[in-house]
Amino acid sequence: MNNSAMYSGSTSQKLKIYTIYWLGYILLFSLIQGLPTADFLRALSNEFYSVFPKILFVLLIVEVAMPVLFFQKKKTLFIFTYILSILFFAFIQRLIDNYIIIAYNLTEWKSEPLLSAPVYLYNVIKLQFVVTIPLAIKLVYYLAEEKNRVQKILSEKLKAELFSLRNQFHPHFLFNVLNGLYSKILSKSDDSADIVLKISDFLRYSVYEVNTKHIPLEKEIEYLKNYISLQQLRFDNRLELSFSTNGIIKNQVIEPFLILPFIENSFKYCLNDTNSQAWITISITASEEWLSIKIENSLSSNCMKNKNSETQYSGVGINNVKRRLELLYPNQHILTIKNDVDSFFVSLKIKINDIP
């Protein structure tokens, strides 16, 4: 079995690997200490007496301190915990040495003071030795998992970009935008130049700026505004739309294409290409800790007739966002989707204070 199974498998697998590891440790040190005096059995019993503090120390560091502190980028607190733990368990080891092993098993030996530097340091070194291998395996497995996670993120991001680009450059969408621009030009509307500028910014963002890992939240919102403005050309006065932002902080960043699929979805299902009326409400609010996005839209008559499940309206883009959120913000996001009789509601909260 691969060593990483010690950390990736079930509790029973971990228990099995740890058991093998500790038995190997006990046999090794029993041989080291027992062979010179040809008294292997007594050395073996001594190791059994002293192994329990070592087990507790390793479990504390490897199974608790590393996941909770080290892997959460709290390295200073991890080092402080490590030093205190190794000193504490070395002292416990000294108590076992003096009051159990020497008192009952090595009676011919003279006990040393509990804080005697040489023997205390020897116990610290043994604790350091016994934790090194499990700690190294844990770290190697964590790095491998992080590499795999980054690869998955890049893969999902690429899928999201390709999916979004496919939607944005779909002939139906472009034809509607160009037709809207054409009608504005014919009527000599003052909005024509602004529409051209929005198209330019929209295409530039989609092709170039989205390649960065993180983008400023303000830039993402500006992109969304351009997308919404261009979509409104398609529906003229048939769409009642509310878009609001609150508390946006300039230095906040976000992964690209996380919000757009939900907005694309709202336009897709709120209106048919008929004379029906529809509405969309979009709210983006940022605090120091959370980014909150709420999107609600009416459903077209066709959607209400064919409605059977929430997943009917999720689509490839929404499923992609769900996977990306799980990879990018594990345990740091809340996604709520409600499919009512005549409306569709999405609420997404992302914890942004830990965004690198």
Q: What are the tens digits of pLDDT across the range 253-295?
A: 887 778 888 888 888 788 765 667 889 999 999 888 889 999 9
More confident of the two residues 202 and 141 = 141
Instruction: Give the predicted TM-score (pTM) of the model.
Output: 0.52
What is the residue type of 99? Y
Asked if 8 and 140 count as a contact pair (C-beta separation under 8 A), the reply is no
Q: What was the pLDDT predicted at 80?
A: 93
Q: What is the pLDDT of residue 355?
A: 46
Bridge partner residues of 338 (DSSP) = 345
Supply the pLDDT for residue 309.
44
Quick check: 175 pLDDT over 70? no
CB atoms within 10 A of CB 207: 13
Of 136-145, 147-156, 177-186, 309-318, which range is least confident?
Answer: 309-318
Residue 314 has pLDDT above 60, yes or no: no
- Tens of pLDDT, residue by residue over 101-155, are 888 777 777 778 888 888 899 889 989 989 999 999 888 888 888 888 778 777 7
- Could you tell me the pLDDT band of residue 210, with boundaries at 50, 70 and 90? low
| Confidence category of residue 169, pLDDT binned at 50, 70, 90 | very low
Q: What gap in Å lies between CA 109 and CA 125, rounded to an integer?
A: 21
Confidence of residue 86 (pLDDT cuts 50, 70, 90): very high
Decide if 268 contacts 240 (C-beta within 8 A): no
**pLDDT-based confidence at residue 302 (cuts at 50, 70, 90):** low
Residue 6 pLDDT level (bands cut at 50, 70, 90): very low
DSSP class of 77? H
CA distance 257 to 266: 15
Mean pLDDT to the nearest integer, 178-202: 72
At residue 311, the pLDDT reads: 43
